[in-house]
Amino acid sequence: ATRGIGRKVVHGMAPSGATMIVVGRDQSRIDEVISEAKAIDGCGPISGEVCNLLEQDEIRALAERVKSQHSQLDVLVNNAGAIFTKNIKTPAGFERTWALNHNAYFLLTSLLKDQLMSSPAARVISTASEAHRPGKMRWDDLQYDKRGSMGGWSTYCQSKLANILFTKELARKLSGTDVTANCIHPGFVNTGFSRNNGLIGRLVMFLTWPVQRRDSKGAETIVWLATSEAARKHNGEYLYNCKPGKLSKAAKRDEDAAKLWGLSEQMTSTSDLW
C-alpha cells in the first residue's frame, strides 16, 4: 500500500477513523504513507508491516503478526500487483507475476479468514483489471514453464482473470456469513507499474499517457466498497467506477472458479483452512 493506488486507498480511508495496517516491502515508504495519513483530519490508529508478498513464508509471518494484534478485520484490501517479463521463480517455485497477483491474495485471505468472519460485516476487496479480457487459464501450464521466459503480458492477463475467479468462489465459499468479496478494475493508472518491464514497458506507459487516470481516481472504488453502506449489496462482483462491470466469458465460468480454488489450496498449502 506504499505506491500508487494503495497509497491513495490509505489516504481515502483515513477520514473514516478506521484502524489501518499498511503493508509494504520498504519501511521508509511505509513510514511516508503513515505520516501522510496522520496529517488527514479524522485519521485513526495506523501502523505498518513490512512484507515481501512474493514470498509465502513472509505472508504467513505477516498473518501471524496481524492475528496476534487483532481479533477481527473489517476490511482486507488485496492490491499488490506487478508484471514481470522474465520467468524467474520465487523461493516457493512460482512464476513471480502469478505469485504476487494471485497466490498472495489467496494465501493472505485464507490465513485471515477467522479474523474476517469475526467481524459483523467484513469486506474483502481485490484489485483485478480489464486486462482479464484476453486472459486464459492455461491449466496445463499456469507458471508458463512450457512457454519459456516470454510470458509477460499473457501471464499478467491470466493473473487478472484469476483475481475475478477467486473473488467469485470466495463469495460462494462465504455465502451465509457476513463477509462479502468483490474485485475492481481501477482504470488505466500509471503507478510505477512499468518499473519491472524495462524500455518497452516505459514506452507503453508513455504512449498511453493521454488516457491514464490519476491514482486517486483508481482508488475510489476500493474506498467506496470499504466504507459505503450502499456497497453492502455487492458480493462476488467485478466493479468499475463503483458500478458492476462486464466480464469476459472466461470470467463467468463457475467451474473454472472452483477448479482454480482447488489448485490454489495446493499451491499455498491451505486446504486445511477451508
Domain ranges of the chain: 1-50, 55-273
Name the region of 93 (left: φ>0; alpha: ψ -120 to 50; beta: rest): left
Please tell us whether the domain made up of 55-273 is placed in CATH 3.40.50.720: yes
pTM of the model: 0.91
Is 156 known to be catalytic?
yes
The secondary element (H helix, E strand) that includes residue 126 is strand 123-127
- Which is the catalytic residue, given 105, 156, 238, 240? 156
Span between the terminal Cα atoms of the chain, in Å? 27
pLDDT, one tens digit for every residue, the chain (274 residues): 688 899 999 999 999 999 999 999 999 999 999 999 999 999 999 999 999 999 999 999 999 999 999 999 999 999 999 999 888 999 999 999 999 999 999 999 999 999 999 999 999 999 999 999 999 999 999 988 886 545 688 999 999 999 999 999 999 999 999 999 999 999 865 555 555 555 545 544 444 444 444 556 889 999 999 999 999 999 999 999 999 999 999 999 999 999 999 999 999 999 999 9
Q: Which residues pair with 23 in a beta bridge?
A: 49
Query: What DSSP assignment string belongs to 212-264?
Result: PBPHHHHHHHHHHHHH-SGGGG--SEEEETTEEPP--SGGG-HHHHHHHHHHH
